[in-house]
Structure 1
């Protein structure tokens, strides 16, 4: 009999890591598309390097801070809800231990165990750590791994910044005649990579994800470039 692999033995931890990787890829993808739309739109109106750098840097900072703040608020709300649920469960275990044992038995029965086996399992889990047992089985929460809003905020900030740097550098570093071409090629190439990576992390077929990603990025750049060209032609 072969030994289980590390991934097979820790599927919960592996799933958590994959969720963080997917979030990082999507954050980088947002940085690429939003910043590319800004700098390409400005490039449609002016070829001034300072204007492009200012617009791109402003978009990078605004986007990364917005992503970080939004993720912090969202995950803080999730953490508050988890803590409140755990506090309620702790009170119920203190005040109604028999009812909570019966509830745990019923939940295990719903998962396919016979009444006798479910009761025995519930008693063993309760004897070891009743709060941990109810948190995992009833609430679907691991009390030792609650959501961390600071981790989420920093991850979103760094992922968005990493993605946004690509179009920013691509628009300001090349010679004026090559800026737009280099930016479009770099952005579309990066979107192919992020689309493929997100699909693979989600165990999905990459072709459709890549096409969606590239089409969305190309549309964003096309729209903003058109708008910038119209404003530039109008002397705005």
Structure 2
């Protein structure tokens, strides 16, 4: 008697999609943390003005989140256009030469480990049920019912970047001037450690190396921008 499939096994494709979205959100938040932290820490090296820090932080947050959203929208729109063009081409081939497409599907299934007889029978059944969907999934790796959505991707990128950017922005403007820099640095490094650990766990990779990379990269970015800001502030620029 075979065991019944688990919930995760039955919905593996949906789970994989959700994990990819979650991983992208974590990486977007990481970008928001690093870029905004580098910006406000650099400004803090040049001036103690809370207004200047708030202005720089808000400008960086809005510019970064909009850039992420527009870039993701353009990228995913291009991917969606390519998917729709591939489906249209497959639809024409199925209409013009269905026998050749059936043979092609049989070959693809056979290449995945099915015997020629089983592959032929499976190809026939899949074609009778929905030929376009069968070819889209087996040949193109596309689910016609779940094409990428550029608006969803753009919104997710905007929100993820904004959520990450809010941390260094609030950390630099809310505390008193005597402690704001160290509070910002420590809170940013802690947040980067969390995003590095989370992204590694989502990708089933060892977390230590990912944490060291994200924390080290963020620390370097803040050190460089703070040094540049201090030099510009000392020069009276």
Shorter-chain TM-score range = over 0.9
Q: Residue 233 of structure 1 corresponds to which residue in structure 2?
A: 234
TM-score where L is the length of structure 2: 0.99
- Alpha-carbon distance in 1 for matches of 2:7, 2:207: 26
Alignment map for 1:175-186 (pairs within 5 Å) = 175-186=176-187
Q: Residue 76 of structure 1 corresponds to which residue in structure 2?
A: 77
Q: Residue 215 of structure 1 corresponds to which residue in structure 2?
A: 216
- Alpha-carbon distance in 2 for matches of 1:11, 1:201: 15
Q: Residue 191 of structure 2 corresponds to which residue in structure 1?
A: 190
- Alpha-carbon distance in 2 for matches of 1:4, 1:171: 51
Q: CA deviation at 1:8?
A: 1.2
Deviations 1:180-228 (A, max 9, x none): 0100010000001000000000001100000000000000000000000
Q: CA deviation at 1:3?
A: 3.0
Q: Residue 126 of structure 2 corresponds to which residue in structure 1?
A: 125
Q: Residue 201 of structure 1 corresponds to which residue in structure 2?
A: 202
Q: Secondary structure at the match of 1:176?
A: coil
Q: Secondary structure at the match of 1:143?
A: coil
2:189 is the alignment partner of 1:173 = no
For structure 1, the residue ranges without an aligned partner over 5 or more in a row are none
- Alpha-carbon distance in 2 for matches of 1:3, 1:108: 25
Q: Residue 114 of structure 2 corresponds to which residue in structure 1?
A: 113
Q: CA deviation at 1:2?
A: 4.0
- Alpha-carbon distance in 1 for matches of 2:149, 2:23: 17
Q: Residue 136 of structure 1 corresponds to which residue in structure 2?
A: 137
Q: CA deviation at 1:122?
A: 0.1
Deviations 1:66-88 (A, max 9, x none): 00000000000000000000000
- Alpha-carbon distance in 1 for matches of 2:51, 2:4: 60
Q: Residue 145 of structure 1 corresponds to which residue in structure 2?
A: 146
Query: Aligned-pair RMSD on alpha carbons?
Result: 0.6
Q: Residue 100 of structure 2 corresponds to which residue in structure 1?
A: 99
Runs of 4+ displaced beyond 6 Å = none
Q: CA 1:197/1:65 → structure 2, altered by over 3 Å: closer, same or farther?
A: same
- Alpha-carbon distance in 2 for matches of 1:83, 1:49: 50
Give the count of matched residue pairs: 236
Deviations 1:162-191 (A, max 9, x none): 000000000000000010010001000000
Deviations 1:83-121 (A, max 9, x none): 000000001001100000000000001101111000000
- Alpha-carbon distance in 1 for matches of 2:206, 2:187: 23
Q: Residue 157 of structure 2 corresponds to which residue in structure 1?
A: 156
- Alpha-carbon distance in 1 for matches of 2:66, 2:131: 41
